Chains A and B, each alone.
Chain A
Amino acid sequence: MVAEIGHYALVLALVLALVQATFPVIGARFNDRVLMGLAEPIALAQFAFVALSFAALTMLYVTSDFSVANVFENSHSAKPLIYKISGVWGNHEGSMLLWVLILSLFGALVAVFGRNLPPSLRANVLGVQSWIAAAFQLFILATSNPFARLAQAPFEGRDLNPVLQDIGLAIHPPLLYLGYVGFSISFSFAVAALIEGRIDAAWARWVRPWTLAAWMFLTLGIAMGSYWAYYELGWGGWWFWDPVENASLMPWIAGTALLHSAVVMEKRNALKVWTILLAILTFSLSLLGTFLVRSGVLTSVHTFATDPTRGIFILAILIFFIGGSLALYAWRAPMLKQGGLFAPISREGALVFNNLFLTTACATVFVGTLYPLALEALTGDKISVGPPFFNATFGPLFLPLMIAMPFGPLLAWKRGDLYAATQRLMLAFGVALVAMAVTFAIEWGGPVLAPFLIGVAFFAMMGSLIDLSERVQLFRLPFAVSLRRAVGLPRSAIGTAVAHFGLGVCLLGIACEANYGAERILSMKSGQSVSVRGYDLTFDNLAARPGPNYRELIAKFTVRSGGTVIGVLEPSKRTFQARSSSTTEAALLTRGFSQIYLSLGDVAADGSVAVRLYHKPMVLLIWLGAVVMVFGGALSLSDRRLRIGAPRAAKKQSLQPAE
């Protein structure tokens, strides 16, 4: 019964989506307020029905109803409750339902928070949003129904893939989807603006908070996924340039570029046509990511060909939305008026530089990810494009960006003074040079590039601090005055500095981890010791322990530093009976921002275990940097001017008497 309710709710949601996709748009065309007014209640109702459908699937998972094929294939009655719930989106059908749920959630949010939008723009935005929703709801119903029943209900389920039975699955996909799908709002705004043929600075002001929110979720989602891979996969890597990762990185880079170009558009009414294009591209890359991950095309072009229904369907959605929006763009964009001139050396110029490099970096990841697929499809030749390619191309594109980053906020709008900005950054140069020299001295004979990277990281971090201190005239005015100015500083300015600082933190972590890590791979018997970077680890014993739906073999290690015990590490191997597969659970010991990482390999018959031991210096800064970036985004989002959107009417009134 629950499954049927869920299925039916999704069908109703599709019908509502189709209504929302047509009538408000027609209403906007003919300026019919009644038709335009339909959009808001229907968007809310659509969300309610998708939520009901999602709740039904969750209910089926929680009650372990194995008469539903999807639950049978991906769940197990002995699984802990949290993994039963997160298992809802740990499979193709459920994750598509989550995708649609978040899509309709954003639609409902626009309906609720977009009351200050011009009615026709709001109707068009909600209409476009609903085209996407309808397409994906149809996709689920036609090819990936999560509610299909089995003729005979089995007694027990097949369980979820053990690697996914982790708290990471509960958090990572929802965050990532909030980011991916959140960019649909920017897309809908862009397409609505093209339909209306009108776009101005106010448009950028409405779009920016949505883009910023989506960007924050995507940043968190990527960082979370990276940390999950780091501790779960057992060899301590945190980024693999895997196509699935690239699929989430591309919208992130494009979204970052969009955030920056939208600033130019809002403040200076320039770069309009480009901003619209970026909004379209960002969501197109999100769609592409969904296609890459969901169609199976990544494993091989051939798996895609053997079961083509889903792949072809998403490909059709992809072509319709990307092709359609780009065609609309090509047709309407020339009508949009350009405004706001600026000199090459200016805040706008710096943001254009940012956009040039980010777009190129994004295109590089795009080509690197899709080139092998295209080459195999066209010529049959198989090549691999792996981490060495991306490191060699992406790095050189990102470094100039990081070096230029502190200059941007110090340049004035319209026409900046590069010399003055350089003078202000002298302190940052100094700190960067000292950091480089110190790293060189400590790690004499180590990698040559690493001290340079660390210098750039310090330059970026110091640069954003200087930006803030310049704004409050620190040390130039009395401290109390500076403090007062700091309180009055717009939060978006603080947010910029914080986010830029976070990127520096992130680079510092990457540079240290990649170049100064230490690794030991060896076989140990109980009582033996091994040391890494001044830490001594002793293998105490091996013990078995039963878990809820697995058996666990735990090795206990005592960690000593200079003779004193500083912690115990208990890496383990888990064997899941239902799928007769196993996972390794690494053990981590955090010291400051660095970590000791220990994971288990094979256990020999004589009781000795293969061990992988790493010292990862400053590794936590990689993810902490991302968190700082998100915090910067949150500060910017809390800026009153962004929340309120357009300038308020009251302000205008107070200006009236002067006329």
Chain B
Amino acid sequence: MRALRFLAAIFVLLQATPSFAVQPDEILPDATLEQRARNLSRELRCMVCQNQSIDDSDAPLARDLRLLVRERLKAGDSDKQVLDFLTARYGDFVLLNPPLNRRTALLWGLPTALLVFGGFILLMAVRRRPAPSSMTDSLAQAAPLTPEEEARIADLLEKDPRTKI
């Protein structure tokens, strides 16, 4: 009875379970080829999923693509040839690493451009300021300390236990 229930449970689970990312039967016997396949899989998008690489996805399409990548590698393709093959079929959408071209120039260029632009603005701001030698607090510039105030500071410093070490 228990065994029967157990089998029934397994049957239910088998039906409901989607297949699972990289499966043992997909793995190539050649370790270096398999490693290349894994690295490529991480750069390819599963097109029916929201934001997953085919390496992570358990969708049937992702499995087909993983097998396809391995087939191409076994046939002797270089990594670039595999990517080109898939791009020719599915367009740039399949690449998680967007290629640099006219459409993505802004995307790739922006971080550097912003950093340079920000740095330039800061440099200008520094140049416009008075030389560091004459630099004092703006408040102090407005009104230099009177002798009474100097005396008061000296008095306060003397009273404060923290300044006596």
Contacts and interface: CB of A to CB of B under 8 A. Distances in A.
Given A339-B138, A581-B16, A610-B23, A237 B96 contact: no
Interface string A370-385: 0100010001011111
B24 A522 contact: yes
B56 interface: yes
A22 interface: no
B118 A359 contact: yes
A544 to B, nearest CB: 4
Contacts of A356: 115, 118-119, 122
A234 B104 contact: no
B155 interface: yes
B96 to A, nearest CB: 3
Contacts of A522: 24, 27
B37 to A, nearest CB: 12
A367 B103 contact: no
Contacts of A384: 45, 92-96, 98
Nearest to A387: B96
Given A384-B95, A393-B111, A610-B23, A237 B138 contact: no
- Identify whether the interface residues of B are mostly helix, strand, loop, or mixed: helix
A581 B119 CA distance: 52
Given A240-B51, A602-B17, A658-B155, A387 B129 contact: no
B119 to A, nearest CB: 7
Interface in B87-116: 91-98, 103-104, 106-108, 110-111, 114-115
B22 A521 contact: yes
B51 A386 contact: yes
B130 to A, nearest CB: 7
Contacts of B6: 543-544
Contacts of B81: none
Given A298-B50, A344-B126, A415-B132, A382 B91 contact: yes
Contacts of A469: none
A582 B15 CA distance: 10
Contacts of B13: 551, 553, 573, 575, 582, 603
Contacts of B136: 341
B93 A341 contact: no
B103 A610 contact: no
B156 interface: yes
Contact of A610 (B9, B10, B24, B45): B24
A653 interface: no
A612 interface: yes
Nearest to B55: A235
Contacts of A611: 24
A388 B96 contact: yes
Contact of A544 (B5, B156, B165): B5
Contacts of B106: 367, 371
Interface residues of A, number: 69
Given A359-B118, A364-B111, A602-B20, A383 B12 contact: no
Contacts of B119: 356
A353 to B, nearest CB: 9
Given A339-B138, A360-B111, A383 B98 contact: yes
A367 B21 CA distance: 29
Contacts of A544: 5-6, 9-10
B132 A343 contact: yes
A234 B95 CA distance: 24
Nearest to B25: A523
B31 interface: no
B17 A573 contact: yes
Contacts of A361: 111
A242 interface: yes
A397 B10 contact: no
A368 interface: yes
Given A243-B51, A584-B20, A363 B110 contact: yes
B50 to A, nearest CB: 6
A340 interface: yes
Contacts of A601: 19-21, 23-24
B160 to A, nearest CB: 12
B111 A382 contact: no
Nearest to A341: B135
Given A299-B50, A360-B115, A363-B110, A389 B24 contact: no
B141 to A, nearest CB: 9
A202 interface: no
Interface in A594-620: 600-603, 605, 610-612
A465 interface: no
Between B51, B129, B137, the greatest number of chain A beta carbons within 10 A of the residue's beta carbon is seen for B51
Interface in B113-145: 114-115, 118-119, 122, 126, 129-130, 132, 135-139
B152 interface: yes
Contacts of A385: 96, 98, 107
Nearest to A376: B93
19 contacts: A235-B56, A237-B56, A240-B52, A340-B137, A341-B129, A356-B115, A371-B106, A371-B107, A381-B92, A381-B103, A385-B98, A386-B97, A521-B27, A551-B12, A580-B16, A581-B16, A602-B19, A603-B17, A612-B21
Q: Which 4 A-B pairs have the closest CB atoms?
A: A386-B96, A601-B20, A388-B97, A544-B9
Given A414-B135, A582-B18, 8 more contacts: A343-B132, A363-B111, A384-B93, A387-B53, A388-B43, A544-B9, A551-B12, A602-B19
